[in-house]
Amino acid sequence: MKKTVLAAAIAALPFAAYAETAPSNAEMWQMIKKQQREIERLTAEQKQADSKINATADAVEKSATVADWANRTTIGGYGEHHFNHFKDKDDKVDAHRFVLFVGHQFSDTVRFFSEVEIEHGFVEDTADGSGPGELELEQAYIAWDFTQGHTLTMGQFLVPVGIMNETHEPDTFYGVERNNVEKEILPATWWETGVMVSGEILPGLRYDAALHSGLKIEFNPDPAKHGAVRGGRQKSANATAEDLAYTGRLVFNGISGLELAATYQHQQDVTQGAGDDGEADLIELQARYQWQNLTLTALAAEWDIDGTSFVANGSDKQEGQYVEASYKLTPSLGVFVRQGEWDNRANSGTDTEIEQVDVGVNYWLTKNVVIKADVSEQDGAKDDDSINLGLGWSF
């Protein structure tokens, strides 16, 4: 009996110990609440950590997006300052051009290009438009490489004609001023709005074919000024588009150092319906050959324009040509001589042709910064002899 009681007592010891150490209901509740608070704290910390991770990821993604946009966007430009000492009129200092380029690569085949220019320092809003400067949008187009080796250009672009019209940054040509043959006859700088297909036909043979807005040559009561093609540029500024123009060019550069090009343009009416039936055709030929440090250039252009008023003052034929030789004495120093003549009233029966000889030097401080000096002598219908100094850059 005593053994049974003793055994029962020993067996009950753990239960007694448990009864003695087991928490009460109140203590259990406190423990549960404490654990709940700990769970809530850990949950809050996890949310805060997740928020920081998401913010960091967003920042990285945004930074990557900005970096990608910046890598696909280009900014450039050019500018030039001129000093001109004339024989028979006032000397001039001119902040001639300040130009900015902005381009963007949308994809491997689609890109954008633009050019904005301020001429002559500033733009003054005058009632008669006689302010000294101009603010111009010269280019704004989309180029689409629609197939291998061929591109479709859509928007406002430079007309594919001449040497200087498409490449006129001051560090790329000799002479302080742009040559007058391309300026007065072609007439550079010349841009229009339309579409153009460009590409390579064969190795060394390229083409451009464009349909675009055309010239609008308005009647001028001054016979000496009427009909000049330069005055007909509309610059895509609410341009009258009754008669579009067609331009085609072939360029051959399949022989090392040699480039030949021919451009033809047709416009049914350069008066844009003014009743003068000004059908016009332009033919332009050019050649450039580079051998070691010597470069030889030649260009000729001619307009044939129908219409009573053009025939009456001789502007139905407008023509010009020049030859130029340049030589690099050192990689930084080059000299040139150029002879040219042009006539915006070649059928007038009077001496309206202007001849000009330019001799000068270019000194490149770097590849894209140039100092220029030249002497120009004119004969014929005008006599604007001058000594010219210039500073130019591009980037």
CB 164 within 8 A of CB 177: no
Higher pLDDT, 368 or 42: 368
Residue 352: inside a domain: yes
User: Which residue, 335, 382, 374, 391, is CA-closest to 356?
Assistant: 382
CA distance 106 to 84: 43
**Does 66 have pLDDT greater than 50?**
yes
Same-domain status, 330 and 212: yes
* Residue 40 included in any domain: yes
If asked whether residues 275 and 383 sit together in one domain, one would say: yes
For the segment 379-385, the average pLDDT, to the nearest whole number, is: 91
Average pLDDT over residues 351-363: 97
Last residue of a domain, one of 33, 51, 71: 71
Does residue 307 have a pLDDT over 60?
yes
**pTM score of the predicted model:** 0.82
Q: Residue 2: inside a domain, yes or no?
A: no
In a domain, 322, yes or no: yes
Mean pLDDT, range 296-309, rounded to an integer: 96
- As a whole number of angstroms, the longest Cα–Cα distance in the chain is 156
- Examine residue 10 and state whether it is found in any structural domain, yes or no: no
Q: Is there a domain that residue 7 lies in?
A: no
**How distant is the alpha carbon of residue 227 from its chain centre?**
30
- Within this chain, do residues 165 and 209 fall inside the same structural domain, yes or no? yes
Alpha carbon of 84 to those of 180, 322, 380: distances in Å? 15, 22, 20
DSSP code string of 158-201: E-S-SSTTT---GGGSSSSSPPHHHHHTS-SS-EEEEEEEEEEE
CB 287 within 8 A of CB 260: yes
Q: Reply yes or no: is the peptide bond before residue 189 cis, omega within 30 of 0.
A: yes
Return the pLDDT at 164. Answer: 97
Q: Examine the domain organization and report whether 167 and 229 are in the same domain.
A: yes
Same domain, residue pair 184 and 302: yes
What sign results for the dihedral spanned by CA atoms 232, 238, 240, 243? Answer: positive
Last residue of one domain, picked from the residues 71, 86, 110: 71
Q: Can you tell me the distance from the alpha carbon of 40 to that of 45, in angstroms, rounded to the nearest whole number?
A: 9
**What pLDDT sits at residue 42?**
75
Q: Looking at the 3D structure of the chain, how many domains does it have?
A: 2
The HSE-up count of residue 72 (CA atoms within 13 Å, CB side) is 15
Does residue 22 have a pLDDT over 70? no
Quote the distance between the C-alpha of residue 91 and its chain's center: 32
Are 382 and 340 within 8 A, CB to CB? no
User: Is residue 43 very low, low, confident or very high in pLDDT (cuts 50, 70, 90)?
Assistant: confident
The one-character DSSP state at 77 is E
Kindly state whether residues 212 and 248 are assigned to the same domain. Answer: yes
Residues 206 and 266 grouped into a single domain: yes
Residues 297 and 183 grouped into a single domain: yes
Percent of the chain scored above 90 by pLDDT? 74
Domain-embedded: residue 108: yes
Q: Is the domain of 298 the same as that of 340?
A: yes
Q: How far is CA 332 from the centre of its chain?
A: 26
In angstroms, what is the C-alpha Rg of the chain? 38
Q: What is the pLDDT of residues 124-177, one digit of tens each?
A: 776 666 678 899 999 999 999 999 999 999 999 999 999 999 999 999 999 999
Instruction: For residues 246 and 329, state if they share a domain.
Output: yes
* Arithmetic mean of pLDDT over the chain: 90
Query: Is residue 1's pLDDT more than 50?
Result: no
On whether residue 1 sits in a domain, the answer given is no
> How would DSSP label each residue in 209-272?
EEEE--------SSTTTTT-GGGG--TTSS---SS-EEEEEEEE--STTEEEEEEEEEES-TTS
Q: How far apart are CA 22 and CA 329, in angstroms?
A: 105
AA identity, residue 153: T
232 and 121 within one domain: yes
> What does the pLDDT read at residue 15?
43
Residue 277 shares a structural domain with residue 342:
yes
- Expressed as residue numbers, the domain containing 34 is 23-71
CATH number, domain at 83?
2.40.160.10
Q: Which residues contact 347 (CB under 8 A, 6 or more apart)?
A: 311, 314, 315, 316, 317
- Tell me the sheet residues that pair with 297: 288, 324
- 113-138 pLDDT tens trace: 999 999 999 887 766 666 788 999 99
pLDDT confidence bin for 59, thresholds 50/70/90: low
Q: pLDDT tens across 235-256, in order? A: 999 999 999 999 999 999 999 9
Q: Which of 46, 71, 96 is the last residue of a domain?
A: 71
